[in-house]
Amino acid sequence: MESLRDIRRNIKSVTATRQIMRTMKMVASARVKRAQSAILSGRPFAAKMEELLSTGLADELRCDEIGLNPVFRGLCGGAAPDAPAALVVITADKGLCGPFNSTVIRAALDWLRRNKGRKVKTFFVGRKGRDYLRRVKTGDIEQSYELTGIFPRASYAHAELLGRQLLPLVRSGAVGEVVVVYNEFKSLLSQRIVVKRLLPVEPAPPPAKEDVFRDDFIFEPDKRGLIEALLVRYVKAQLYRILLESQSAELAARMNAMESAGKNAEDLLDGLKLKLNRTRQSMITTEISEIVGGSEALNG
């Protein structure tokens, strides 16, 4: 049987752990509100950039012109299926956020298995994905770039850093596509794993005739130059949105994980306190029995 000292030590340890969990939940709650506001502000711009590039302009370019630039191969049927690919894996730098990191890593592993035998250049945002996938020996994997320590203060500058690493590879034809694996923020209670092909840009379905309104547009200096300029901004805008999505999802997952852990700590404390009282009562009963027994022995 545990002594009272051991039980009290356990109660003190669990109480301190519960306080840490409460503090982490409060910090995550305060940060997730700002992160949620940032992602709600950034989504419309990124969505319009994608719509403009995939439907507003790119579908009007001739495929022979597109073929001059490897970035636009996706607009004419897609890159070769065996072309090298760039895989961007976005996880957290720390744990204690439930299944947030494990779901991203599992999705990245599934993608790597489906593309086994294909050369893959990996780009990591966050330490958890980097540390795990660095040990994976699935196919021809080359770690090309890592960006750590940016959460929970991800900014557009970080998206620019990542974009500067990816765009030259696509322009030069070193990779045929760029795939991003991340958690998308849905609400404070749920996140959705996303495996998104970022480049080449996939053309949207042709619009209905009544929706066509751009036939009389005049582009200066020319349409292709405008699209090439927009493409750089499109990639960085999408990367920025993805970083914000992952940041918000991580904070929400950490808040929920700490709340659940705090409830478990409460249950554990209740059990330990009950055990303390029972042990103390048992000791008191034993002492009384010994006293009564000794008294009867003396009187006898």
Q: What is the pLDDT of residue 75?
A: 46
Query: Are the CB atoms for 121 and 139 separated by under 8 Å?
Result: no
Token pair listed for 82: 């065996």
242 pLDDT above the threshold of 90: yes
Mean pLDDT rounded to a whole number for the chain: 81
pLDDT for position 122: 92
pLDDT of residue 277: 87
Name which of 205, 244, 212 is nearest 38 in CA terms.
244
pLDDT at 71 over 60: no
pLDDT at 62 over 70: no
DSSP bridge pairs for 143:
122
Residue 102 has a pLDDT of 93
Domain 35-203+216-250 coded CATH 3.40.630.30: no
What confidence score (pLDDT) does residue 56 get? 55
Whole-Å CA distances, 194 to 63, 84, 161, 236: 29, 21, 22, 18
The residue ranges of every structural domain in the chain are 35-203+216-250
pLDDT surpassing 70 at residue 68: no
Specify the pLDDT at position 77: 46
pLDDT digits (tens, 9 = 90+) for 175-225: 888 999 999 998 888 889 999 988 877 665 555 555 554 555 677 777 777
- Counting Cα atoms < 13 Å in the Cβ hemisphere of 237 gives 19
Residue 74 pLDDT grade (very low, low, confident, very high; cuts 50, 70, 90): very low
Of all residues in the chain, the percent with pLDDT exceeding 90 is 21
pLDDT tens for each residue of 29-59: 888 888 888 888 878 888 877 777 766 555 5
pLDDT tens-digit readout, 113-166: 888 888 899 999 999 999 888 887 666 788 889 999 998 889 899 999 999 998
Q: If you write DSSP's letter for every residue of 102-171 in order, what string do you get?
A: HHHHHHHHHHHHHTTTS-EEEEEESHHHHHHHTT---SSEEEEEEE-S-TT---HHHHHHHHHHHHHHHH
Query: What was the pLDDT predicted at 202?
Result: 67
